[in-house]
Structure 1
Amino acid sequence: MILYDNSILKLDYDPATDILEVAYPDLHDFLLVEIKYSIDQLIENVNNYDVKRLLLDSSRTVIAVNGERSREITSYLAASLCKTRLQKLARLQSPDSTVEVTAQSNIKHIETHLHLPFVLRNFTSRKEACGWLTTN
């Protein structure tokens, strides 16, 4: 069921598996304020539905901002998720090596600077990610 949908984020929740699926937004300077607002909507829905499993699809993400801006958005998302009861976050990797290098750098940064109360794993396949999310 679609919980939220705008031009930046679409939240698709499956109550049977308790998996909330969201595509990581394209990062453009002119969208950063709207992206933060959309992340706030994501967090509100994670809290309202007490979501424990999140599938973050970065496979089609475009990054058109500098590394600092990208890190800012990633850190904002991670810090916001730390305030929820999320237990597992599966991230679908980008096939674009430039995007993936930036993403891995951002992940390393948040793992160093934040105590993540959820487990974060990267996957190249949606099937594997969903399988991991649904296992105890």
Structure 2
Amino acid sequence: MILFQNRLISLDYDPSTDVLSVDWPSVSAYDLLEVEQSLNTLVEYIRNYDVKRLLIDSTKAAISPELDMVKYQAIVTEFAYRLIKTRLRKSARIMHADLVRETISREIGEQVSKKANLTVENRNFANRAEALAWLTA
């Protein structure tokens, strides 16, 4: 069931598996504030529905070359800090096919996890079926 949708994200929740799915938003310099608000909304739904499993689909997400990476990383770090205050246990991410884009995502993810001391178990997958299998195992 779709819980929330705006131009950046759509939150789809399956209560039978307790999996909340989100398409990770594409990010450009002009919409950082909206990205931050969307990630805050994601955390609120995780908290309100007491979600334990999150599926992040990064396959369509793009990062604009003119993006201020310091600001973006600060937003993602704050997202991680807010996740710590939920009961989320597992997060699976479907990787982007572009290896350059994926390298950037992994570097940001590792830095944020380390800085926020994120305790959520996280793994990356090539496709949705593998990610869902791991999340629901």
**One fold, TM greater than 0.5?**
yes
Whole-Å separation in 2 of the counterparts to 1:91 and 1:70 = 18
Whole-Å separation in 1 of the counterparts to 2:86 and 2:71 = 24
Task: After TM superposition, list the pairs within 5 Å mapping 1:39-50 onto structure 2.
Answer: 39-50=39-50
Q: Residue type matched to 1:89 in 2? A: S
Shift of 1:87: 0.3
Whole-Å separation in 1 of the counterparts to 2:72 and 2:101 = 10
Whole-Å separation in 2 of the counterparts to 1:55 and 1:39 = 14
The equivalent residue for 2:28 is: 28
Instruction: Name the stretch that deviates more: 73-82 or 41-50.
Output: 73-82
The equivalent residue for 1:37 is: 37
The equivalent residue for 1:10 is: 10
Shift of 1:73: 2.9
The equivalent residue for 1:69 is: 71
Whole-Å separation in 2 of the counterparts to 1:121 and 1:9 = 21
Whole-Å separation in 1 of the counterparts to 2:53 and 2:98 = 25
The equivalent residue for 1:103 is: 105
TM-score, with structure 1 as normaliser: 0.94
The equivalent residue for 2:90 is: 88
Q: Is the 8 A contact 1:43 1:80 kept in 2?
A: yes
Instruction: Name the stretch that deviates more: 73-82 or 1-10.
Output: 73-82
The equivalent residue for 2:115 is: 113
Identical pairs, percent: 39
Q: Is the 8 A contact 2:91 2:123 kept in 1?
A: yes
Shift of 1:117: 2.2
Instruction: Name the stretch that deviates more: 61-70 or 32-41.
Output: 61-70
Mark the CA change 1:82 to 1:57 in structure 2 (over 3 Å): closer, same or farther.
Answer: same
Count of residue correspondences: 135
1:127 aligns with one of 122, 126, 129: 129
Q: Residue type matched to 2:2 in 1? A: I
TM-score, with structure 2 as normaliser: 0.93
Which runs of no fewer than 5 residues in structure 1 stay unpaired?
Answer: none
Whole-Å separation in 2 of the counterparts to 1:114 and 1:125 = 27
